[in-house]
Structure 1
């Protein structure tokens, strides 16, 4: 896959294809959409340095006019944090496995907590034999807001090494189950690194959500399945 490169002034960006549902912003102050818009960018290179960031990240491109002389931070805001400071609260538990990789720098763990990190090269990767079918984890909510969506980015995302997306497995079908209600539903996930949503409004109440991998898009090199990002929204 490739990112579409574009510029805001002298700042190079990589545009992600993301047309998100309007009510994805339901848990935020309405003004947040003015900041976030419906487009997402990979912050990297000169933009990263100009903004004073130490690491690459996924950000939202706000619906603000690009005026000359403005600083980069006038146009960008992190996603999923809202432009007015709101932030969802969640944690992960009951992870069935994760990959531990031996590298020259030592052990590298692709833990379930990586699902809340939008920086590149930080996926959760299952650690079971085979493609990870049947592996599970739970997203636990910390507040009383009613989440209507799963917001996710599939696969292993790396702008510096894009082939890792195809070389590793990606989730294809998942079971979403309310831990309290027991209600469950099967979903097909798109084979794309771009942000996508899964509508979980079938759940009758605010509750922890269990995810089970039912099928995968197989990688061309590694028999591992990765998810770059997944939160409730």
Structure 2
């Protein structure tokens, strides 16, 4: 009778331990989700700051360009006036014309330089807009990834080979040459190219292949997988 009592208590304690392990796993995944979202929000704040500064500098340069073009028009008017002053000594007239040519050349060079700067800044703004589009794609991709991670709490993670026809990363169809590989963390199916990362797991530290998202979540001191290039646009 005491032996049966001990066995029942062991089963109860074992169930409690499994429940605690499930709770810890759920909290760890929630923390990982929050870390990825925090990285995205920080990068978006930096991009908005760059766009604000670039827009202000462009406005200042355009204002300076307008002022210099007005000065150039004024100097051209002075040149016309000097050409009409024929009664002045020829030497003085030549000297003034020379000074005017020098000033006009300097002003034209300055205007050309400003135009070049404005064009360069416009290119930077265009690049910033392209970066912003990449961030939108990144945000959409991360949202899809996070939703998939959250959905795994309500379903079996391991994907079966017969259920998947294309890589979950690059969406390329599988074939004899492109075989199916499982991520050892999330259980999803990828091609070999999209499963290039490995992490050490278990008491014997065996190397296990994982996808980009799981590698970012499992290896804390590594750069996020989206820091080198924007992720694939989600379907």
Give the TM-score normalised by structure 2: 0.20
The structure carrying a bigger helix percent of its residues is: 2
Larger RCO (CA under 8 A, 6+ residues apart): 1
TM-score after normalising by structure 1: 0.20
Structure having the larger proportion of residues in strand: 1
Which has the greater radius of gyration?
Answer: 2
